[in-house]
Amino acid sequence: MFYEFSVCLLSYRNKQTMKIAILSRSPASYSTKRLVEAGETRGHEIVVLDHLKCVLVIEQGKPHIYYKGIEVEGVNAVIPRIGASVTFYGAAVVRQFEMMKIFTAVESQALVRSRDKLRCLQLLAKAGIPIPKSAFAYSPKNVDNVIDQVGGIPVIIKLLEGTQGLGVILAETRISAKSVIEAFLDVQVNILVQEFVKEADGADVRAFVVDGQVVGAMLRKGAEGDFRSNLHRGGTSEVVKLTTQEKALAVKSVKHLGLGIAGVDMLPTKRGYIVNEVNSSPGLEGIEKATGNDIAGKIIEYIERNEHTN
């Protein structure tokens, strides 16, 4: 049974038993419930905290977190499940736990780094990881050059802070591409323009990485007529077996972003897989149902191995 943080804070019974806080605004979501179940199955005390209800108190040498007026104490580890729309405050809460010397399964800086799609691609490219050809511009006057630099029409246009397929547009003509790009830039909305990978045919592969290991992978296929493969947009999934090289690509991507947990989305191309995105709060439902693997359990085991590092 899952529950939110309450007045009753039980101390952990022995060195093997921990109090783990899950930062989640959706305690009834599949991912949160599975993490609670996996933690309690292993004998840990699990509390669910809505990070937007946390109050951070900062003073010299004494960082504190209050939840619904009660100080959060006795927590050994934290699993952040931070939505893209509240990255700034969510990362601040994670950072506060880090200041309290508490292990976080996803570090605050890595969370912020991965959420900035431009910064993420820059780091991946610097590490020699294959990515879609991408362009970023500030002025609407550079639109034609941006389109040409990624290989011409059609192009993918992405909001830098979009998630779950939202804020992703396929522009199939130069006129429509210019109209969309110019409209976003005119209102100072940051976007990326990327090459359209036709051979992907609305499909991608998500590799789920925990503590430097691929613990599951699935092939995601977009709904009929949709170029996006996101399951939240009506896509389907099935288990897929990755080669050693493909696993290494996913692990390398996560390593260079400093993430302990991540979903790595890869597109099939004529030149092999390329890394399209790295998600620092990947959902568990699709990957667990496709693979049959206990991914939530792998996350708890990761915490058990690393809780003492802080």
pLDDT digits (tens, 9 = 90+) for 232-241: 555 678 999 9
Question: Token pair of 220, please?
Answer: 């995601």
Cα–Cα distance for residue pair 7/74, rounded to 1 Å: 12
Beta bridge partners of 79: 22
Highest CATH level, class, for 134-196:
alpha beta
Look at the domain 200-298 and name its fold.
D-amino Acid Aminotransferase; Chain A, domain 1 (3.30.470)
Note the pLDDT of residue 4. Answer: 41
- Mean pLDDT over 137-148 rounds to 88
Beta bridge partners of 239: 218
Q: Which CATH number fits domain 19-105: 3.60.40.10, 3.40.50.20, 3.40.1010.10, 2.60.120.260?
A: 3.40.50.20
Closest by Cα among 286, 296, 298 to 238? 286
Query: How many residues can be counted in the chain?
Result: 310
Most confident option among 7-16, 29-38, 219-228: 29-38
CA angle at residue 111 from 110 to 114, to 5 degrees?
Answer: 80
Note the pLDDT of residue 229. Answer: 52
- Per-residue pLDDT tens for 176-233? 999 999 999 988 888 999 999 988 888 899 999 999 999 999 999 866 555 555 555 5
134-196 and 200-298 in the same fold: no
- The domains of the chain are located at 19-105, 134-196, 200-298
Dihedral angle computed from the Cα positions of residues 13, 99, 86 and 130, in that order, rounded to the nearest 10 degrees = -100
Amino acid at 181: I
- For residue 95, pLDDT beyond 90: yes
**pTM surpassing 0.85?**
yes
Note the pLDDT of residue 16. Answer: 74
Closest by Cα among 51, 32, 40 to 12? 40
Cα–Cα distance for residue pair 105/82, rounded to 1 Å: 12
Question: Is residue 177 within 8 Å of residue 171, measured between CB atoms?
Answer: yes
Q: What is the DSSP letter of 265?
A: E
Closest by Cα among 274, 246, 283 to 156? 274
- For residue 257, pLDDT beyond 90: yes
- For residue 295, pLDDT beyond 60: yes
Cα–Cα distance for residue pair 55/68, rounded to 1 Å: 8
- For residue 14, pLDDT beyond 70: no
- The per-residue pLDDT of the chain, averaged, comes to 89
- For residue 280, pLDDT beyond 80: yes
Dihedral angle computed from the Cα positions of residues 217, 129, 150 and 152, in that order, rounded to the nearest 10 degrees = -50
- Per-residue pLDDT tens for 46-80? 999 999 999 999 998 889 999 999 999 999 999 99
Integer angstrom CA distances of residue 282 from 210, 243, 289, 299: 11, 22, 14, 12
Note the pLDDT of residue 10. Answer: 37
